[in-house]
Amino acid sequence: MAKATRKQALGRGLSALLKDPDNDIKSAEDKNADKLVGHIVELELDSIEVNPFQPRTSFNEESLRELASSIRELGVIQPITVRKLDFNKYQLVSGERRFRASKLVGLKTIPAYIRIANDQESLEMALVENIQRQDLDPIEISLSYQRLIDEINLTQEQLSERIGKNRSTIANYLRLLKLDPIIQTGMRDGFLSMGHGRALINIEDTQKQLDIYEKIIAKSLSVRETEQLVRELNSGGKEGQPAKKASTSVPKTYKKGIKEFSEYLGAKVDVKVTKKGSGKLTIPFSSEADFERLKKLIRGES
Query: Range with the lowest mean pLDDT among 26-35, 50-59, 97-106, 131-140?
Result: 26-35
pLDDT at 36 over 90: no
Q: Is residue 259 included in any domain, yes or no?
A: yes
The predicted model scores a pTM of 0.47
- Of 73, 89, 118, the last residue of a domain is 118
Where in the sequence is the domain holding 95, given as residue range(s)? 2-118
Q: Is residue 73 included in any domain, yes or no?
A: yes
Return the number of other C-beta atoms located less than 10 Å from residue 168's C-beta: 17
The arithmetic mean of pLDDT across residues 214-224, rounded, is 90
Q: Which residues are catalytic?
A: 96
pLDDT tens for residues 54-91? 656 667 788 888 889 999 988 898 888 888 888 888 88
Q: Is residue 94 included in any domain, yes or no?
A: yes
How many domains does the structure of the chain reveal? 2
Q: Is residue 227 included in any domain, yes or no?
A: no
80 membership: H or E segment, kind and range: strand 80-86
Q: Is residue 166 included in any domain, yes or no?
A: no
- Of 90, 118, 146, the last residue of a domain is 118
Q: Is residue 88 included in any domain, yes or no?
A: yes
Q: Mind giving me the DSSP string for 88-105?
A: TEEEEEE-HHHHHHHHHH
pLDDT tens for residues 181-210? 899 988 888 889 999 999 999 998 888 999
CATH number of the domain to which 102 belongs: 3.90.1530.30
Q: Is residue 109 included in any domain, yes or no?
A: yes
Q: Is residue 213 included in any domain, yes or no?
A: no
pLDDT at 231 over 60: yes
- Of 92, 118, 144, the last residue of a domain is 118
Beta bridge pairs of residue 273: 279
